[in-house]
Amino acid sequence: MPNITLSMDKKLIEKSRKYAEKQGKSLNALIRELLQKTVNTGSSSKNTNRLFELMDRAAGNSKGKKWSREEIYDRKVLH
C-alpha cells in the first residue's frame, strides 16, 4: 500500500492518537477509515456538503457569548 505524509497541528495529532487508541485502532487506521467513509459515501457526501453550506449561510449570532461544555450539556433543564 502506498504511503502519504500529512501535516497536522501537534495537539490535534496527540488528541487523535488518544481517540484512536480508545477505539482500539492506530491513528493510521482511523484516518484511512475516515477517508474511506468520506470518499465512498456518494450521495451522503453531497448531503454533508449541503449541510455545511447551509451552516455557513446561517444567520445565527451569539453576540460574543461563549458557553462552557458544562453549560451546553447541563441536564438540569430536563428535570
* Residue 26 to residues 12, 14, 16, 33, Cα–Cα distance (Å): 15, 12, 9, 11
Cα–Cα distance measured from residue 36 to residue 38, given in angstroms and rounded to the nearest whole number = 5
Closest-CA residue to 3 (of 28, 27, 24) = 28
H or E stretch including 50? helix 43-57
Residue 56: per-residue pLDDT? 80
Residue 8: what pLDDT? 86
pTM value? 0.49
Per the CB < 8 A criterion, the answer to whether 19 and 8 are in contact is no
Collapsing DSSP to helix, strand or coil, 4 comes out as coil
Q: What is the pLDDT of residue 45?
A: 67
Instruction: Delimit the domains of the chain by residue range.
Output: 8-53
Question: Which residues of the chain, if any, have pLDDT below 50?
Answer: 79
Are 27 and 17 a contacting pair, CB within 8 Å? yes
Res 14: pLDDT: 92
